[in-house]
Amino acid sequence: MKNPQPFVDEAAITVTSGAGGNGTVGYRREKFVSMGGPNGGDGGRGGNVVLVADRNLNTLTDLQRRSEVRAQNGANGGTSRKTGASGAHTEIRLPVGTLVYASDPSNESIADEEDGPVVDLTQDGQRFVVARGGNGGFGNARFRNATRQTPDFALSGKPGEIRQLRLSLKLLADVGLVGFPNAGKSTLLRRISEARPKVASYPFTTLSPSLGVVEVGDARIVVADIPGLIEGASEGAGLGHQFLRHVERTRVLVHLLDAGAWLTEGRNLVEDYRSIRRELHRYRPELSERREILILNKVDLIHDASTRAELENVLGENGLHPALLSGATGEGTETLLRTMLQSVEEAVELEKLAETRVLDESERLD
C-alpha cells in the first residue's frame, strides 16, 4: 500500500524563465551569388515558468524537494532568416488555495505578506505566468538598410527573469471541523467521508489538516479536519498559526464539544467553547462571525439519560444548544449532514449576492 504524502503548507523556491536565443550573423551564399545580403535569423523566445492550480493536489511536499525550477532557453537564430525555436514553458502544479508571494533577488527583498501575493490560486486549472522568458535577439538581417548593406553584427537574447517565490497553502473547504484536541473531529470525518485521518484517543493525533469529500444526496461538499486548537493558538501556541490559517477559507464551521472529556475529566465545555471562539476572533475577527454548527460529540459514552440531560442543561443555561452526535456510532450524523449542506448553500448564496453588489457598485462608479 502506497503511503500518503506528508502534509506541507509552506515552501520556498527560485524560478528562472528561459533566456532568449541569440540572433545570428549570416549572409546569403549561393551559386553565382558571391556577395549575397545578410540573412541571419532572430533568436527564439525563452520559455515561461507557469503556475497551474490542480485540485488533485493538497500539499506542497513536492516543492520542498526542488530548490530551483528553470524553463528552457530559446534557440539561436539560423541562416536563411530562420528564427530559433522558442524554449519550452515549464509548469509548476500547485494545490488550489495556494498563495504565491514573489520577490526579485536583485532587489535583495524577501517575499512577504506585507507586499501581498502576486496571485491567489483559487480555481482548478487557473494559470499564472510568474516568470516570462526573455526575447530573442535580432539577427543581422534586421539591420540592413540603405546605408548599411552588410551589417556584421547581431543582438544577444535577453536573459530570463529570476524570482524567489514563497508558497503558502490555505486549504479551500466548504466546512471546517474545529474544537479542542481529541474532540473527535477525525473520527467524524472518517464517518462521513472516505478520508482516513489518523485516529487515537490522545491529544494532537492530527498534526496536519485532512480533507474529505462528503456526498449529501446529489450534492458534494468538502470538509476539512483542522488539528485541535488550544488556548493561545492565535499567538502560535500548539502550532496555532499553521492550523488557524486553514480555517480562513471555510464557509461553515462545525464546532465539536467533547462530552467524553466532561464525563471522565470534568472538563468545562462552556469554557472550552468560549476559548476556541476567542482564539478564532483574535486570529481573524471575521472568523467569529462565520456560520457555526455546534455539536456535542461522543454522546454514546453517556449511557444514563439523566446524566445526558444534566449536561444539556448546563450548556443551555449558558446559551449553548448543540446538536447531539456520536462520530463513533453514527448517531446524529444524517441530521448534521443535512444541516451542513443547508448552511453551505446559504453561505454560497450570500457570496453571490455580495459579488453582485460589488459589480453593481463598480458599474455606478464607471
Domain end, chosen from 142, 169, 196, is at 169
Res 84: pLDDT: 97
Residues 106 and 236 in one domain: no
Is residue 134 domain-resident? yes
Residues 141 and 277 in one domain: no
Q: What is the mean pLDDT of residues 113-128?
A: 87
Residue 129: count of CB within 10 angstroms of its CB: 14
Give residue for cell 485532512.
Answer: 210
Please indicate whether residue 140 or residue 29 has the higher confidence score (pLDDT). 140
Q: What is the mean pLDDT of residues 89-116?
A: 79
Is residue 229 domain-resident? yes
Domain end, chosen from 146, 169, 192, is at 169
Residues 78 and 201 in one domain: no
Res 87: pLDDT: 98
**Shortest CA distance to 296 belongs to which of 278, 281, 318, 247?**
318
Total number of domains in the chain: 2
Asked if the model's pLDDT at residue 218 lies above 80, the reply is: yes
Residues 105 and 36 in one domain: yes
Residues 299 and 326 in one domain: yes
Q: Could you give the CA distance from residue 215 to residue 333 in angstroms, rounded to a whole number?
A: 12
| Alpha-carbon separation of residue 35 from 28, 42, 150 (angstroms) | 7, 21, 9
pLDDT in tens, 232-254: 434 444 444 566 777 888 999 99
Asked if the model's pLDDT at residue 322 lies above 70, the reply is: yes
Res 208: pLDDT: 61
SS3 227: coil
The C-alpha angle 323, 324, 328, rounded to 5 degrees, equals 135
Q: Could you give the CA distance from residue 316 to residue 300 in angstroms, rounded to a whole number?
A: 20
Residue 264, domain CATH? 3.40.50.300
Strand ordering across the sheet containing 323-324: 210-216, 219-225, 175-179, 252-258, 291-297, 323-324
- Parent domain of 328: 175-361
Res 195: pLDDT: 59
Asked if the model's pLDDT at residue 129 lies above 80, the reply is: yes
Is residue 3 domain-resident? no
Is residue 156 domain-resident? yes
Is residue 160 domain-resident? yes
Res 133: pLDDT: 98
Res 201: pLDDT: 40
Provide CB contacts within 8 A for 52, sequence distance 6+: 91, 92, 93, 94, 125, 126, 127
Amino acid at 292: E
Percent share of the chain, pLDDT over 90: 53
Res 13: pLDDT: 95
Residue 364 binned pLDDT confidence (cut-offs 50, 70, 90): low
Residue 173 binned pLDDT confidence (cut-offs 50, 70, 90): confident
Contact of 267 with 261, CB cutoff 8 Å: yes
Q: What is the mean pLDDT of residues 48-71?
A: 89
Q: What is the mean pLDDT of residues 343-353?
A: 89
Res 325: pLDDT: 95
Residues 79 and 98 in one domain: yes
Residues 282 and 321 in one domain: yes
Residues 205 and 74 in one domain: no
Provide the angle, in degrees to the nearest 10, between the axes of the packed helices 333-365 and 185-192.
90
Asked if the model's pLDDT at residue 309 lies above 80, the reply is: yes
Residue 167 binned pLDDT confidence (cut-offs 50, 70, 90): very high
SS3 147: coil
Q: What is the mean pLDDT of residues 97-116?
A: 73
Give residue for cell 439519560.
Answer: 305
Residues 233 and 253 in one domain: yes
Q: What is the mean pLDDT of the chain?
A: 85
Residues 300 and 189 in one domain: yes
Q: Could you give the CA distance from residue 83 to residue 157 in angstroms, rounded to a whole number?
A: 12
Residues 238 and 185 in one domain: yes
**Pure H helices in 259-303:** 259-265, 269-283
Asked if the model's pLDDT at residue 285 lies above 80, the reply is: yes
Residue 123, domain CATH? 2.70.210.12
pLDDT in tens, 182-204: 888 888 988 888 655 444 343 43
pLDDT in tens, 68-97: 999 999 999 999 999 999 999 999 999 988
Percent share of the chain, pLDDT over 70: 83
Asked if the model's pLDDT at residue 180 lies above 80, the reply is: yes
Domain end, chosen from 123, 151, 169, is at 169
Asked if the model's pLDDT at residue 171 lies above 80, the reply is: no
Please indicate whether residue 268 or residue 9 has the higher confidence score (pLDDT). 268
Is residue 35 domain-resident? yes
Residue 184 carries which DSSP code? S
pLDDT in tens, 323-343: 999 998 999 999 999 999 999
Res 236: pLDDT: 45
Q: What is the mean pLDDT of residues 303-320?
A: 94
Is residue 366 domain-resident? no
Is residue 114 domain-resident? yes
Residues 104 and 244 in one domain: no
Please indicate whether residue 301 or residue 62 has the higher confidence score (pLDDT). 301
Res 152: pLDDT: 93
Report the DSSP pairing between strands 49-54 and 119-121.
unpaired
